[in-house]
A and B are shown apart, each in its own frame.
Chain A
Amino acid sequence: MLPQIAMATGFVLILMGLYGALTHRNILRMIVGFTIADTGVNVVLVSVGYLPGRTAPILDSAVPVADAATRIIDPVPQALVLTAIVIGLGVTALMLAYAYRLFRARHSLDISNFTELKW
């Protein structure tokens, strides 16, 4: 049950984040929304690797090498989530820099003010 709860939490975070990003016109709030959604994605990612009753995939004294296959959880999602976090961070930084640039251009952070390009 635990993974489902974590997963549902992750999905709720994603939907909440997206809702924020789609309804707030302020660019900074949109970015915050996406950050929340990214976090939700990461929660979902980690929850998929979880196996009930197992431990972290570090083969120190707690987990003998020989028993590893039966004692540890799936390490792959953990590796993936690290990559996903870093990438999410990169994109967020870039969006913030863009937001700054947009603000400098028009002294506004309202996304509906940047519609010269259309049709």
Chain B
Amino acid sequence: MTSNFTSRAAVALVLLLLLGTAFWSLTTGYSADAALNRTAEYYAVNTPAETGAQNVVTAIIVTYRGLDTLGEVTVLFLTAAIVALVLGQSKAPRGASGSGFLPSGELLQTGTKMLLPLILMFGAYIFVNGHLTPGGGFQGGAVLASGMLLLLLADPGKRFRKAVIHRVESLSGLFYVLIGLAGMAWAGGFLDNRILPLGQFGQILSAGAIPLIYTLIGLKVGAEFSSILESLEETEDA
């Protein structure tokens, strides 16, 4: 067995060394551009006028490459659905899960009660301001879900209202698609953010539909992470 292991390691090592030479030539052949390439320059110049967003990255994510982002949200949606399928087939008997845990301490429970509203608010802040400052729907959603995780840690036996999570997940996704289609009807194309007025540059209510989309993404991501956590928590060994 050991010999098998080492031969495998040797093969892997040789392979990766060869792959490494390819990477090496990529690195040595790389030189940073002196100026922005034409795509980046277009974004730098036109983002304010076209999308009204201060954060160029957000403009790219939500608008110019909005289709990617829709796909990204779908990745999480899929993962949540499949994790539920994978784990759902080996679900623990009702009421049995989590029972093996020691109750969490007083500190954690009290802390959770105090921190949870703040965490949720912080998450919301991050995604609402995504078009202005670093951050956005994914980051905000992850923060929301961390609140949920805290809740689970504080009370392992707790059950979320599954229906609520799923409804949030579905509705936010559905609205996201509908906003995209609205872009086709009332603006330049699928996921065009100019269905709403661009407003004044730098204000919270600006950049057309970007804050709206990021809010939906935030809710959806939060819901999806929560539902993955929930699926994991429901397994027998949890």
Q: Which residues of A contact B (CB under 8 A)?
A: 3-4, 7-8, 11, 14-15, 18-19, 22-23, 48-52, 56-60, 65, 68-70, 72, 74-76, 78-80, 82-83, 86-87, 89-91, 93-94, 97-98, 100-101, 104
Closest Cβ of chain A: how far from B212's Cβ, in Å?
A: 19
Q: Does B76 touch A at the CB level, under 8 Å?
A: yes
Q: Which residue of A lies closest to B231 (CB)?
A: A97
B43, B54, B55: the one within 8 Å of A76 (CB): B43
Using known A-B contacts A60-B54, A79-B65, determine if residue A90 contacts B76 with beta carbons closer than 8 Å.
Answer: yes
Residues of chain B with a CB closer than 8 A to A91's CB: 79
Taking A18-B16, A60-B54 as known contacts, 8 extra A-B pairs with beta carbons closer than 8 A to each other, sorted by chain A number, are: A51-B32, A51-B36, A60-B132, A76-B43, A79-B60, A79-B68, A100-B86, A100-B235
Residues of chain B with a CB closer than 8 A to A104's CB: 90
Number of interface residues of B (CB under 8 A): 62
CA distance A23 to B133 in the complex (A): 42
Q: Which residue of A lies closest to B17 (CB)?
A: A15
Residues of chain B with a CB closer than 8 A to A74's CB: 33, 36-37, 40
Residues of chain A with a CB closer than 8 A to B126's CB: none
B32 and A83 within 8 A (CB): no
Q: Does B57 touch A at the CB level, under 8 Å?
A: yes
B23 and A15 within 8 A (CB): yes
A58 and B134 within 8 A (CB): yes
B23 and A86 within 8 A (CB): no
Q: Which residue of A lies closest to B221 (CB)?
A: A86
Q: Which residue of A lies closest to B69 (CB)?
A: A83
Give the residue among B5, B37, B56 with the most A Cβ atoms within 10 A.
B56
Residues of chain B with a CB closer than 8 A to A90's CB: 75-76, 78-79
Q: Determine the main DSSP class of B at the interface with A.
A: helix
What are 8 A-B contacts with C-beta separation under 8 Å?
A: A7-B27, A22-B12, A23-B9, A52-B32, A58-B54, A72-B36, A75-B43, A97-B83
CA distance A5 to B41 in the complex (A): 25
CA distance A63 to B5 in the complex (A): 55
Q: Which residue of A lies closest to B42 (CB)?
A: A69
Closest Cβ of chain A: how far from B222's Cβ, in Å?
A: 13
A76 and B76 within 8 A (CB): no
Q: Does B13 touch A at the CB level, under 8 Å?
A: yes
A101 and B90 within 8 A (CB): yes
Q: Does B102 touch A at the CB level, under 8 Å?
A: no
CA distance A75 to B55 in the complex (A): 9
Residues of chain B with a CB closer than 8 A to A79's CB: 57, 60-61, 65, 68
Q: Does B101 touch A at the CB level, under 8 Å?
A: no
A100 and B61 within 8 A (CB): no
CA distance A56 to B71 in the complex (A): 25
B8, B19, B78: the one within 8 Å of A15 (CB): B19
A86 and B75 within 8 A (CB): yes
Residues of chain B with a CB closer than 8 A to A8's CB: 27
Residues of chain A with a CB closer than 8 A to B26's CB: 7, 11
A23 and B12 within 8 A (CB): yes
CA distance A58 to B202 in the complex (A): 11
